[in-house]
Amino acid sequence: MTAPERRYVITFGCPDRTGIIARISGFLAEHGGWIVEAAYHTDPDTGWFFTRQVVRADSLPFDAAGLRARFGAVAADLSAESSWQVSDTGERRRAVVLVSKAGHCLYDLLGRVASGELDVDIAAVIGNHESLADITRAHGIPFHHVPFPAGGKEAAFEEVRELVDEHDPHAVVLARFMQILPADLCRDWAGRAINIHHSFLPSFVGAKPYHQAHTRGVKLVGATCHYVTADLDAGPIIDQDVIRVDHGDSVEDMVRKGRDIEKVTLARGLRWHLENRVLVHGNRTVVF
């Protein structure tokens, strides 16, 4: 199999004005940069401009670090946010997955990685239960069991932090991890921690949301993939999707369909994140 062409990806946002695209393309052309993908968006409500530029690595006379150093002047000239990035597709992406007992999202991610469909190295899986240890290790991935005893959650989260930070992952995936991240982890993993949950929030909160939804006679089951913030389940949304249900579906049918849509939505959101397609501005995202 031929290795994919190495590319550099530039993403940033800045106040909208005339000449932005000319400034970017002029800078790249000056250094021989061959643009193979370009996306733009202007938000009229905030007056903010967003872009994602993809350049052939072999067309430039310097590496990704050199591109970052030189593009910094362009970003400053355009008053770009400090979060502007230059990423290198030649750098392997790493993810750490956090789980509890439900395994559908983990099984799906492991399958996509094993088949080559999702291009990421899962460095470790961390669970507050041991239910998913065997399937993780069957894929050759380390599994770490971190219990969360009553009164001992702070110490447990410190252990989780150490295990995650050891790998410096590009993504921390909460694959139905049923523990609420403390505010300091939300801050330290901002823009990297990704969660998935059913779409019944905030209508059906608490225990047995599918039972509540079934009693109410809902016609859609969905899922939301979002970045984790200290505001529970309210971080910037990366992706959402729905699947129809009807009066003939039992609670079990709704749960099964909900799990299906959670798997797809999480995998898609994670892919977009790893490909640097998601730009966060406040509590909203632009996904190219």
CA separation for the pair 11, 128 (Å, rounded) = 36
Lookup result for tokens 């240890």: 133
Q: Measured between alpha carbons, how far is 200 from 245 in angstroms, rounded to an integer?
A: 13
Evaluate whether 266 touches 109 at the Cβ level (below 8 Å).
Answer: yes
Tokens of 217: 């006679």
Find where tokens 């939804």 sit.
Answer: 213
Q: What is the dihedral of CA 155, 99, 236, 69, to 10 degrees?
A: 80
User: Within a 10 A sphere around the Cβ of 59, how many other Cβ atoms?
Assistant: 15
Q: Are 54 and 36 in contact (CB under 8 A)?
A: yes
Active site residues: 233
